[in-house]
Structure 1
Amino acid sequence: MAKMVLDLQQACLDEKVSCYNLLLRAYAIAEKLNIKDMAEFCTNEINGYYDIDDKTIPLYRKIHVNAEAYKETAKRWEPISFPAGSPWSMSIIVESIAEIEKLDQSKREMLEVRLNYDEQLAIYQIIDMPKPLHVRQIFMAAKVTSILQIVRKLILDWALKLEKQGIFGEDLIFSSEEQSKVKDVPSIQIIINGNVTSSNVAGVLNDSISNIQTQRKD
């Protein structure tokens, strides 16, 4: 007979199973067992962190980025240097896990965060420079892959903890005995703030390396 928890573990070990699918399975288990923290974690990853206070967003979604300004006179992108500790050297990846998986499948080497006008204006003021045509943040696409790997590992760790407490969920049903054991299941550890501070919410994440490469050739 199928056991939900063991099936989830097996799925976590299969790279062909998407993180989106893993989160749906974990969410179903968490809801059936009334484990609110895990259900909320799954919901946030599935829907994205668009309307959530950035202070509560997991640390693994806060990444270091490089900023560049397009100089019209030189017809090229040039790096921007910020003061030590500037929040603009960080960006928060708020997209849903499905969107992140789509970006990961693009097999690009670099990705770009497009900043809105107000964010670009704030950068102009910090670095005291004339307004260029465009300011952007770029980062290695491997950092997106890392988000998927961390989420997969968190789900696996949680499923293993359920198993250790004798919670399996046979045929999509958890017995009253299994439900009574939930209080003894250790929480998964998700670092929220750590020692990183960041106040800028990322703009729209774009799979735009082809544009970057073309513009760099100018």
Structure 2
Amino acid sequence: MATIVEKLQQAALDKDTPVNDLLRRVKFVATKLGLPSVEEWVDHELNGYASDAPPDYRRVHGTPIAVNPYRGPMPIGGYVDGLSWKTVREPVSALEALLNSTGSGGTLQIGYSDKIREKLDHSNDVHGWNYYLQVSPSELRRILDRVRTLVLDWALTLEKTGIMGTEDSFDRAEKDKAQATATTINIGHISSLVGNLGHGNVSGSITVSNLNTEQIGSIIPQLRGHRDELVSAGAHGPTLDDRLDALEKAIANPQPDHSFLRGLLTDLRNCMSGAAGSLVATGAINVLNAMLGTGVPPT
């Protein structure tokens, strides 16, 4: 009989196994092994990312569309890179259902927030228009394929680590080994801060005066979470703390002073220059440079 890990590998390779069902198998295995970080990832994928930032692979690209009441849908012109990306937070079951309901050659429409629609109305000197991001179904299919691959990679890692189990369980030694070794799912989340800090939160916001306040808001807790590591690598702790606090207060203003924000971001970048040998600091500096240059993070 196939072991519990072999069954998981087979399910990951079977394209007929819905990703929703595959993830339930992962949760079963992770719970048996006592791996809460894997369970947490599975729960997000099954239930959606309501508050936590989704991983980078959930960021989709499309064409921003404005619905003219008289001429119908038309692409939004000008500099629209900030509008061309959106983070998909829905559970995998919703993505699979959406794909199944989309006919061959069809496209998907992801609406913008009320805040963005108001800004677009204001910039176009109109009122009450509808706006959405037109996305190819292949973008959602890519997300599901990525989840499937992550599961397969994890199941293969378990095998390489010598964790196979029986038909439906694991022994004590395997559980201890799983908890003592690196058997988490490496999703490449933005919290890695290496080259793609904040990458998953750009979509759905508008770049104003070359600065994206929503992205600034997503970076603050990430840098705070790595504060000790940055300081140990050479960043100036007091300046780091002060500028993060100031940024948080500044972006809470409905109409923030972007010149002031730019100065705070520059100070933040400079205070981490002493930690340039750290991968975390390098990733953060790269993103801050991108924000200060264009308001859009590196792709």
Q: What's the TM-score, normalizing by structure 1?
A: 0.81
| % same residue | 29
Give the aligned partner of residue 18 of structure 1: 18
- SS of the residue corresponding to residue 24 of structure 1 reads helix
CA contact (8 A) 2:113 2:204 kept: no
In the alignment, the residues of structure 1 paired with residue 41 and residue 202 of structure 2 have an alpha-carbon distance, to the nearest angstrom, of 20
Divergent runs of 4+, >6 A? none
The alignment covers a number of residue pairs equal to: 195
The offset of 1:115, in angstroms, is 3.1
In the alignment, the residues of structure 2 paired with residue 107 and residue 72 of structure 1 have an alpha-carbon distance, to the nearest angstrom, of 25
Which one of 159, 163, 181 corresponds to residue 163 of structure 1? 159
Which one of 60, 72, 76 corresponds to residue 76 of structure 1? 72
CA contact (8 A) 2:64 2:84 kept: yes
The offset of 1:113, in angstroms, is 0.9
Give the aligned partner of residue 39 of structure 1: 39
CA contact (8 A) 1:72 1:132 kept: no
Larger radius of gyration: 2
> What's the CA shift string for 1:134-192, capped at 9, x where partnerless?
21211111101101100000000000000111111213221011112112234332122
Superposed counterparts of 1:125-140, under 5 Å: 125=122, 127-131=123-127, 133-140=129-136
Aligned Cα root-mean-square deviation (Å): 2.0
Partner AA of 1:188 in structure 2:
I
Query: For structure 2, which runs of at least 5 residues remain unmatched after alignment?
Result: 191-195, 206-299
CA contact (8 A) 1:162 1:185 kept: no
Superposed counterparts of 1:111-190, under 5 Å: 111-125=108-122, 127-131=123-127, 133-182=129-178, 183-190=180-187
In the alignment, the residues of structure 2 paired with residue 199 and residue 143 of structure 1 have an alpha-carbon distance, to the nearest angstrom, of 14
- SS of the residue corresponding to residue 63 of structure 1 reads strand
Whose strand fraction is larger, Structure 1's or Structure 2's? Answer: 1
**Compared with structure 1, are the counterparts of its residues 101 and 199 closer, same or farther at alpha carbon in structure 2 (3 Å cutoff)?**
closer
- SS of the residue corresponding to residue 185 of structure 1 reads coil
Whose helix fraction is larger, Structure 1's or Structure 2's? Answer: 2
In the alignment, the residues of structure 2 paired with residue 27 and residue 129 of structure 1 have an alpha-carbon distance, to the nearest angstrom, of 50
In the alignment, the residues of structure 1 paired with residue 203 and residue 102 of structure 2 have an alpha-carbon distance, to the nearest angstrom, of 29
Query: For structure 1, which runs of at least 5 residues remain unmatched after alignment?
Result: 202-218
| Highest RCO, 1 vs 2 (Cα 8 Å, sep ≥ 6) | 1
**Compared with structure 1, are the counterparts of its residues 23 and 173 closer, same or farther at alpha carbon in structure 2 (3 Å cutoff)?**
same
- SS of the residue corresponding to residue 136 of structure 1 reads strand
Partner AA of 1:90 in structure 2:
W
